[in-house]
Amino acid sequence: MGFLFPYFRLMQLLKALTEIHAPSGEEHYLKDFILEFVAENAKNWKVEPIIIKDGIQDNLMLVFGKPRTAVFAHMDSIGYTVAYNNKVVKIGGPDCTGNWELVGHDSKGEIDTILLEKNDELFVKFKRPIDRGTSLTFKPNFQETKNFIQSPYMDNRLGVYNALKLCETLENGIVAFSCWEEHKGGAVPYLGKMIYEEYSVSQALISDITWVTEGVLAGKGVAISMRDSSIPRRSFVNHIIELTKQSGIPYQLEVESAGGSDGTALQMSPYPFDWCFIGAPESHVHSPLEKVHKADIDAMLKLYEYLMEKL
């Protein structure tokens, strides 16, 4: 692949991550990118990790020192799968309200097409039938302004970016890059089993992206979720909040009734994990226009580094 990671500015790394085609089920493309990133950069990190990549499908884990806490960042994105006669079905919950540009490739070549909706069915406008099973994702369009980053797939390439930046200074911990989060999950329970049984780690932070809402605003700090569709153990979340108060890092408290994450999957596993979702809020969720304030990205990076030292 030949990426010159040492010369990337920070936003160049994030841009590269958002451009990788890796919807649920095809995370191996992003896994390969991360493995090359680790190979080229780990020698400059405070601690070089043990790399666990075999026997766990397309998931990837990095183990640093004597871990006490795990960080989960899902690699997959939402998108679409081509069915019959250029009809498409959703991968996860993508926004279908616009005539979005979609890209992919099949046995006949590259695909650059438009999403259309007719009679409650989704299809793409293309000059030929696309191979069945071909996945399509939003066309890359990374834009940076003074205060914001706007791009498809900030969810969750920003979470992956945060985890990779954390690796630079992490001395003790596990970073787990997971699969299928956007489409019903499936990987986290067995990753949790490995982490709990082999390393006696039973607490986790979820490096993912949440929503801008009436109570969580852009530019006001990273969001600490007290609950979504799942309810984590309050004493653990309260501990996270108290530590964050001591850090002086800008944060917001989130309370929602919907949404889920790798934390939901951990809670449903047969292992006694405590977990907390901590992430920057974005607007235009699951569309090509996902937008995050740079100050919230900065707060997210700083808080993960702080908490992984203190927990």
Choose the CATH number for 5-77+143-310 among 3.30.465.10, 1.10.3210.50, 3.40.630.10, 3.30.565.10. 3.40.630.10
**Pick from 56, 53, 57, 125: which is nearest to 88 by CA?**
125
Spatial contact of 156 and 74, defined as CB atoms under 8 Å apart: yes
Q: Which tokens in the block code for residue 253?
A: 């408290």
Strand-pairing partners, residue 205, are 71, 276
Strand-pairing partners, residue 239, are none
Residue by residue, DSSP assigns 204-226 as EEEE--EE--SSS-TTS-EEEEE
Choose the CATH number for 85-138 among 1.10.10.10, 2.60.120.10, 3.40.50.300, 2.40.30.40. 2.40.30.40
CA 122/CA 112 separation, integer angstroms: 16
Please give the pLDDT value at position 119: 85
Terminal Cα-to-Cα distance of the chain (whole angstroms): 36
Please give the pLDDT value at position 296: 98
Q: What is the β-pairing status of strands 70-74 and 60-64?
A: unpaired
Q: What amino acid is encoded at 111 in this protein?
A: I
- pTM above threshold 0.75: yes
Strand-pairing partners, residue 114, are 101, 125
Please give the pLDDT value at position 11: 81
pLDDT average per 10 residues of sequence, the chain (311 residues): 45 95 98 97 97 98 98 98 97 95 98 94 96 98 96 98 98 98 96 98 98 98 97 98 98 96 96 98 98 97 98 97
Q: Where are the domains of the chain?
A: 5-77+143-310, 85-138
Please give the pLDDT value at position 7: 35
Residues 6+ apart with CB under 8 A from 254: 210, 213, 215, 216, 223, 224, 225, 226, 228, 277, 281
Please give the pLDDT value at position 4: 40
